[in-house]
Structure 1
Amino acid sequence: MDVVTIGETMVLFTPNEEGMLRHAHSFSMKFGGAESNVAIGLSRLGHRSRWISRLGEDEFGDAMYSFIRGEGVDVSYVTRDQTSPTGVFFKEFRRLNDMRVYYYRKESAASKMSAEWLPEDAISDAKYLHLTGITPGLSISCREMLEKAICTAKKNGTKIVFDPNLRLKIWEDEEEARHFLKKYASESNIFLPGIAEAEFLFGACTMEDYVEKFHSLGVETVIMKLGKEGALVSSKSVPMTKVPGFVVERVVDPIGAGDAFAAGVLSGLLDGMPLEESVRRGNAMGAMVTMVNGDVEGLPNRFDLAAFMNGGLEDVTR
């Protein structure tokens, strides 16, 4: 297995018109979750990915399971819960550049994941274990599960990739979030913070200072996401380098861009590309996703990705 990822995916309802959610009368149903977004992104590029989670024994769970499995992702370690529901969230496109997200995930099936529930062989055959800071915020049992996952990965030589994916709404308080995000960063081989997350963890600093602080935690490779500016890369073998981003004329939906970026970086590394080229692929993936409504709808296959990175396709393909 190339990449294993663990976390909650929820049913996503998006209004079919812009404006405040209270005025919406019709919605489109999709699916969204950082970890499954990464797994789907990798699968579309031809890599073997496995998504581990827990779903409610309900219609939403059935639909999600079928969708993610249909994307070629291994879902053999996804279990079902007869007493807890599949989580739900809503996007609200209030106006241009003003989008809000509302989560309904308390006591969801995924929040009941635990160490006892996670078999070691779900991770032991993977080259990379991808984790985010969302999962440990769901419950204490989810944190215990991640500890087991990390121990299993280290025991089997699986590299750990950690994206903080800060969601303050799921934590008891900011200090708790800060403590655990630093903890998981310190146990990772590759760390994927954004600027806002770096500032949350260490306060106001220069980009160079942030990178040094992350290395001081024990992180081997730091890849800081800089939005449309690209990313800053630093590792033992690569001195601090900025990898430029790709120009997007119109951002339709920014959610999921960071997950696409992670999938692109991992894809490049799996293909044996140098770190800087892998990050450039990640920048392209992130840019492409923002041009389409939905978390995974804009994730490309290899042909579309190559075309975009080489200047784009024709306006009309005949």
Structure 2
Amino acid sequence: MQRIVTFGEILLRLSPPSHLRLTQATSFDLYFGCAEANVAASLAKFGLPVKFITAVPPNELGESSLSMLRSFGVEPFALIQGKRLGIYYFEHGASERPGKVVYDREDSSFSTLKKGMIDWESIFKDADWFHWSGITPSLSQDLAELCEEALEVATRMGLTISADLNYRPTLWKYGKKANEIMPNLVKHCDLLLGGIDESEKVLGVPLKEGDSEKEVFTNWMKAYPRLKNIVSTHRMRANASSNAVSASIWNGKELLHSQEYNISHIIDRIGAGDAFMAGIIYGLIVWPEDHQTALEFAVAATCLKHSISGDINLATVNEIKALMSGFGGGRVSR
């Protein structure tokens, strides 16, 4: 059984209930999550052993965030330091009003991490897979260097490495552009989740007008020869309340496409990409030679996440497989 390590910041999420705007809120629904923690929780729920590396403050919020991860079966490894847990506020959108995120994560415990503070060789001793995302190196030069340190050790120790580009323009505020930092990190990856529009601004790979997805991903593999699989999700006919989702995978030989799901009533779209990431990792582990099935599992996972409140996908392997097989549509399971 593949043993997985993920690395990133866990945040406290506060959302106004009932689709209220932040300016209207007098109370908040509370969740813990964020990209790499969401992936870890999903993979643990799928039955894989997962360790999540982070830093939290020595207070009740820090302990609550770790307890939440343990409740999903994740083994957290957290440096207890700093004074606060990062926060983000999420305002649910509706119809043509988009959702909105406001970050409050400066000077968080995680932001104080630096190169040399984590013993990566010990962390990776019994691991097979390492997952990270572009959010971590976007936060500071120190975290970019720490991420690079982790990737160098993981590469040397022979782990499979995956990443979600997760480009968030509002987070890159320390004087570096994403395409100045990310290429040196992505070169370590075997599996990458990203979209065509991230080619130049994140990976530094030129994009020509009219380039197809296959052409762009072929160029990514030329620029980053370790890459074995590139996946991308697609939203169509989208507003805040409904959209269609599908996905594709390029394995260097053929571009495969998933079935398309129409989601008519979105409960919570935060974490949908992380649900897909967990799904494709699980899929490639379980069906390493069947990329179509792995892709279908991942897109079914992201479809179901849209129906679940909070950051983390609570769908089980059997529920995802049932949707893949056509047993969806809101039928009551009896």
TM-score by length of 2: 0.88
Q: Does 1:150 align with 2:156?
A: no
> 1:225 pairs with 210, 233, 236, which one?
233
For residues 187 and 136 of structure 1, what CA distance do their matches in structure 2 show? 14
Number of aligned residues: 314
For residues 244 and 183 of structure 1, what CA distance do their matches in structure 2 show? 34
TM alignment of 1:58-207, pairs within 5 A? 58-75=59-76, 77-81=77-81, 83-97=82-96, 98-119=98-119, 120-172=121-173, 176-198=177-199, 200-201=201-202, 202-203=206-207, 204=209, 205-207=211-213
Residue number in structure 2 paired with 1:295: 311
For residues 78 and 25 of structure 1, what CA distance do their matches in structure 2 show? 32
Deviation at 1:199, TM superposition (A): 6.3
> 2:278 pairs with 253, 263, 269, which one?
263
Unaligned 5+ segments in structure 2 are 236-243
Q: How large is the Cα RMSD of the aligned pairs? A: 2.0
Query: Residue 149 and residue 245 in structure 1: after superposition, are their counterparts in 2 closer, same or farther (change >3 A)?
Result: farther
Partner amino acid for 1:226? H
Query: Residue 195 and residue 250 in structure 1: after superposition, are their counterparts in 2 closer, same or farther (change >3 A)?
Result: farther
Unaligned 5+ segments in structure 1 are none
Contact map agreement 2:144 2:181 (CA 8 A) in 1: no
Residue number in structure 1 paired with 2:326: 311
Once structures 1 and 2 are overlaid, which stretch shifts more, 189-198 or 30-39? 189-198
Q: In structure 2, the residue corresponding to 1:5 is in which secondary structure? A: strand
- Aligned-pair identity in percent equals 25
Deviation at 1:104, TM superposition (A): 0.4
Contact map agreement 2:245 2:299 (CA 8 A) in 1: no
Partner amino acid for 1:241? L
TM alignment of 1:13-24, pairs within 5 A? 13-24=14-25
Query: Residue 158 and residue 140 in structure 1: after superposition, are their counterparts in 2 closer, same or farther (change >3 A)?
Result: same
Deviations 1:101-127 (A, max 9, x none): 111000111111222221112123222
Query: Residue 272 and residue 208 in structure 1: after superposition, are their counterparts in 2 closer, same or farther (change >3 A)?
Result: closer
Contact map agreement 2:297 2:321 (CA 8 A) in 1: no
For residues 73 and 19 of structure 1, what CA distance do their matches in structure 2 show? 32
TM-score by length of 1: 0.92
Partner amino acid for 1:317? S
